[in-house]
Structure 1
Amino acid sequence: MDIDKPVDKASAPRRRAQGLTREVILEACLGLAAGTEPDALSFRKIGKELGADPTALYRHFADKDELLLALADRVIARGMDGYGPGAGWEASVRELMLRIRASFLHYPQVATLAALRVTRQEGEREFIEAMLAALRQAGFGKREAALVYRACGDFVLAWTGFSAGLLLLGEKSAQDDEAWVRSYAQEPEGKYPLGTGSVEAMAAVQDEENYRFALDLLLGGIAARLVR
């Protein structure tokens, strides 16, 4: 190498961009999505993480929406990795809904975006297939299994999107709970006796505990439909 020859700095991003693949981009994005930095999945930040011009991403994804849906599906697929049906339908559905939630909460930036979308890709299809298999095993017919699946799918996505939002809020979430408790102390004595007596207990409920309790209620309701 001629040490006196100036380095063409502009060529470095181009050389790195030549090594980009969908897989490399998705893995870099998941690394960014695991944090709580605002707007971590902007093309500018993704490009910086990859050491490439952000426009290079468009060679592999038509737009940011396509990239985000691919990320969401990758997170679902990771949640499904290693899954096997449980001893009965309820154990299977519970396991699936805990797996997908846990996977998304590793990547809160993706979870907040995925709550309103369907990916239409392999990971999502595996999850749907496993859920429907468990519900058909329970004894639901085609139509009712579809209804129950939608209730379960929307439940886990909506709740997990909410939980991811709390993670991204960080300390502000705990501060909100503290302010909630204090607000009752400022009310005239006896104005809200039930709320005043319960607010500390309500604020102390942790998000994961709350999710699992609500999941128990949901599964109990589903089971009740089987014995009508």
Structure 2
Amino acid sequence: MTSTNDRVVPPAARRRRRPTKKGVVLSAELIVETALRLLKEHGADALTVRRLGLALGADPSALYRYFRDTDDLLLAIADELIGRTLRTWHPTGDWRADLRDLGLRMHSGSLAHPQAAVLSSYRVTGRVHEIGAVETILGVLRGAGFPDPEAVRIYHAFVDQALAFAALDAASIALPRAAREAEAGVWRATYARLPADTHPHIAATARHLMADMRRSAYPAALDMLLTAAAARLEEITQHGNAETLPGRTSGTSH
């Protein structure tokens, strides 16, 4: 797509009144859904006006009524993935369990659309679902008792960790099957055969490496982050206020 800012219409008007050749009514939501499907089936090269137009049975130029360019569409895709996660998440009031559940859902949602996740996981959309996610996560942390600076710091670590693992694991899934199998085979063909006299630590843990390296490290990393956050909250609670901890500016000594 090329930039055509003056042709993008307001959201309320973003609906084709007449069905396309395939009998569907065009909308921003339908375009995003179709783009997700094409990305999943054909990879990043599918994200073109021509391919989308063909899949929708619409004139490619009609897509400019909904999105300025491909990047605008990509931001909408990223925001939709966030929205899908939020719609399936139901908080319980236990901040640690709620964030763990949300993080795992964010990760699995990205892996359900690996090509889209690789392209969009590092983007900031500033759109409705992302705004909702930021508000929700900060609300969980502030509700748990974290002071605002700590809530933001933990929010930052939580989100970046989830998105980084999503991008890493999605990139692996997006590889051709032969490449994935070849990489998995390296642990058996190379690491498992290294002799103990030259590589004692690898040799001692080889069977564990072969088992563990086939899985994503995200659940373990998420648990470590939440354990550290819980310890930090206990520390804050014991001191009454984050500003009174040793090393911070405070009128109270400890």
C-alpha separation in 1, matches of 2:223 and 2:70: 37
Give unmatched runs, 5+ long, in structure 2.
1-19, 236-254
C-alpha separation in 1, matches of 2:154 and 2:217: 21
Give 1:3's aligned residue: none
| Structure showing greater relative contact order (alpha-carbon pairs closer than 8 Å, 6 or more residues apart) | 1
**Residue from 174, 188, 203 that aligns with 2:181:** 174
Give 1:26's aligned residue: 32
Give 1:140's aligned residue: 146
Conserved 8 A contact 2:187-2:209: no
C-alpha separation in 2, matches of 1:19 and 1:49: 13
**Residue from 224, 228, 244 that aligns with 1:221:** 228
String of CA shifts for 1:107-164, please: whole Å, max 9, x gaps: 1121112221111111111111111111012211111101110100101111011111
Q: Shift of residue 39 of structure 1?
A: 2.5
Matches within 5 A, 1:16-55: 19-35=25-41, 37=43, 39-55=45-61
**Normalised by the size of structure 2, how large is the TM-score?**
0.76
RMSD (Å), alpha carbons: 2.5
String of CA shifts for 1:17-58, please: whole Å, max 9, x gaps: 994321221121122233364523233322221123433322
Conserved 8 A contact 2:75-2:125: yes
Which of 33-42 and 120-129 deviates more? 33-42
Q: Which amino acid aligns with 1:35?
A: E
The sequence identity of aligned pairs, in percent, is: 37
Give 1:5's aligned residue: none
Give 2:122's aligned residue: 116
Give 2:93's aligned residue: 87
Q: Which amino acid aligns with 2:64?
A: Y
Q: Shift of residue 214 of structure 1?
A: 1.3
Which of 192-201 and 112-121 deviates more? 192-201
Change (3 A) 1:197 1:122: same
C-alpha separation in 1, matches of 2:188 and 2:126: 43
Change (3 A) 1:21 1:177: same
Q: Which amino acid aligns with 2:209?
A: M
Which of 140-149 and 28-37 deviates more? 28-37
Change (3 A) 1:189 1:82: closer
Q: Which amino acid aligns with 2:102?
A: L
Q: Shift of residue 72 of structure 1?
A: 0.8
Conserved 8 A contact 1:35-1:107: no
